[in-house]
Structure 1
Amino acid sequence: MWISGALNLDSGVGGKIKKEDIQSAVEQYEKYHTSYGGDEESRKANYSDMVNKYYDLATSFYEFGWGESFHFAHRWKGESLHESIKRHEHFLALQLGLKPGMKVLDVGCGIGGPLREIARFSSTSITGLNINEYQISRGSELNRIARLDKSCDFVKADFMKMPFYDDTFDAIYAIEATCHAPDVVGCYKEIYRVLKPGQYFAAYEWCMTDHFNPNNESHKKIKADIELGNGLPDVRTSKECLEALKFVGFEVIWEKDLAADSPLPWYLPLDTSQFSMTSIRLTAFGRFITRNMIKTLEFLGIVPEGIHRISAILEKAAEGLVAGGRMEICSPMYFFLVRKPL
């Protein structure tokens, strides 16, 4: 059933948060954001708590609606969303030149969907770094099911303070994850530190594009909705990310916003004006059914209070992303390949 899958009723949303605490967790999360009186500085100062609460509350919804890989993809006509997501991950592995025997780090790995796909594709050993306990437990379970638990593992840690020695990894990647960092320079410095000299780091970053005007009220509202709906302290510009990479010492091999030439709009899966039988739960009709079923279940006391508010936050995220995508002021796939000098 759609709803039971979304709410993960057996373990509670997020697994870690007790059902009776969900409502207060949602309220605490909301207070970090502009719409509820919060500001960028409070989000940055409390990024660890904010991001943890977000993924404790939202992970089950993500997996229900999106699958195991929580990211967008450059997509060709005639290609399904699932196919494009796999190709997006394979493209990253090829850019990094991954080969059997390499030790790889996935920074901000979610529940490990890309980790498992890239590990199978490249025959590499991948460590997933994640600050969220529930996502690690879920990812470990999925690794066991996929029989990758011997070659791939997870480490619970903050990517601003990685528990690894200098020059540990043969390659590092991040997929729509380092956007959660409160300080992009500090985050890239840590990645630079644990990467071996001469090796590569590649990422898909969430960024505001050159079309974004920080003085435009409509643009500012869309940015705030995206931050609220996705647990982000601040969505940086692609120029800021590029400057940070150079500042910490990386050599830039190439960089490009892949959304700019995607044959299909990257936000298409969230666009309720489109109807798809293969992704009906993401359509306006699917959201309407899910929204009202959640309201009913919460009213009847079958699911905990606060579930509907989580759903509303995620819908706000989708609305912000679609609006930002149509106006071309944001992108979830600013791609770069950089190298740590010898």
Structure 2
Amino acid sequence: MSKTGALGLAASLGGSISKEQVKSAVEKYEKYHDLHGGEEESRMSNYTDLVNKYYDLATSFYEYGWGDSFHFAGRWAGETFRESIKRHQHFIALQLGLKKGMKALDVGCGIGGPLIEIARLSSARITGLNNNDYQISRGKELIFSAGLSEQCNFVKGDFMKMPITDNTFDAAYALQATCHAPDVQGVYKEIYRVLKPGQYFALDEWCMTDRFDPNNAKHLAIKAEIELGDGLPDIRTTRQCVQAMKDAGFEVIFAKDLAEDFPCPWYQPMDPSHFSLTSFQCTRAGRFITRAFLNTLEFLRIAPAGSMRVYHFLQTASEGLLKGGREGIFTGTFFVLGRKPLQETETTVNGDL
């Protein structure tokens, strides 16, 4: 079943939970947050439930508005949204030197859009790790349609305790996924553990930048909006992420906010004043049509009760991301390339920010 149209969106809302459970799931999810930061301790201790509820509710909206790749990318002038997403995935593959015969791990793989593109580009075997049943089932549909079922596969598991043996993979990457972790050093340590010695981990992360002031009420409100709308327990700073990579054992080869490299910012698709045929759903007109159509479907009980509430918290996320990007206090494209030393005693040479 296609998830790209508005009717497909309504039909698939709720992910792996029944339509009757959507409203209850929304209420439980919203209890983890409020616009003043929510109960951070509760989000940390219940991160599995938080993230699963979020993606059960939000995945169909993501696919409707974003396609099969749930991440940001900077854009060159004249480059379409879809082209920028694919180029960003190619960048990850090239940083890792992926090629035929290698085994790579996609940590927090979503429904598998990046996994498919990177597998096609590199001919490497890609395993996607995900803890959400609906996203895995959707991902299996996509890799089957792409003819990649022999080259790609999915493993269900928590990235804080992966069901994977030590020293398994030739490369690993996380595309704006480990921001969901309650303990960033803990998830990096798990990636370090399953990576073979001498091999590379490409991290693409959501972070607060050096411009973020934790004593600034406006900054805190923006951070809280992003956390509410995106299923995040807490957003770390760029420096915290780099330090956590080092503390996990990685040699940091380089770290950079990729947003600095592009004339068109990563947050442009969320700007309702920016008109684009390739991301029409994100424009002011597209949002108006989607909101009206979804409201009608929920009123007619075609879409489950609670659908508009999901749409509203996703709009909160969009507004928070746009404000955070414009203020320069948040980046959706912070990149770190790390290497697991050949030997545990090998001296690490860390690339500071």
Q: If the length of structure 1 is used for normalisation, what is the TM-score?
A: 0.97
Matches within 5 A, 1:289-304: 289-304=289-304
1:300 Cα deviation (Å)?
Answer: 2.1
- Does the 8 Å CA contact 2:37/2:221 hold for their aligned counterparts? no
Matches within 5 A, 1:1-342: 2-7=5-10, 9=11, 12-35=12-35, 38-342=38-342
- The one-character-per-residue Cα deviations of 1:14-43 (angstroms, maximum 9, x if unpaired) are 331111110010000000013388311110
Sequence identity of aligned pairs in percent? 65
- Does the 8 Å CA contact 1:30/1:36 hold for their aligned counterparts? no
**C-alpha separation in 2, matches of 1:142 and 1:90:** 19
- The one-character-per-residue Cα deviations of 1:219-263 (angstroms, maximum 9, x if unpaired) are 000000000000000010000000011111110111100012321
SS in 1 for 2:197: strand
1:278 Cα deviation (Å)?
Answer: 2.9
Residue correspondences, number: 339
1:297 Cα deviation (Å)?
Answer: 1.7
SS in 1 for 2:126: strand
1:151 Cα deviation (Å)?
Answer: 1.1
- The one-character-per-residue Cα deviations of 1:98-129 (angstroms, maximum 9, x if unpaired) are 11100110000000000000001000000000
SS in 2 for 1:34: coil
- The one-character-per-residue Cα deviations of 1:173-211 (angstroms, maximum 9, x if unpaired) are 000000000000110110111100000000110000000
- Does the 8 Å CA contact 1:31/1:37 hold for their aligned counterparts? no
Q: If the length of structure 2 is used for normalisation, what is the TM-score?
A: 0.94
Structure 2 unaligned segments of length 5 or more: list them. Answer: 343-353
Structure 1 unaligned segments of length 5 or more: list them. Answer: none
**C-alpha separation in 2, matches of 1:310 and 1:99:** 40
- Does the 8 Å CA contact 2:36/2:224 hold for their aligned counterparts? no
32-41 vs 328-337, greater mean Cα deviation: 32-41
- Does the 8 Å CA contact 1:6/1:65 hold for their aligned counterparts? no
1:136 Cα deviation (Å)?
Answer: 0.2
SS in 2 for 1:254: strand
Moved over 3 A (4+): none
- Does the 8 Å CA contact 1:255/1:337 hold for their aligned counterparts? yes
- Does the 8 Å CA contact 2:101/2:125 hold for their aligned counterparts? yes
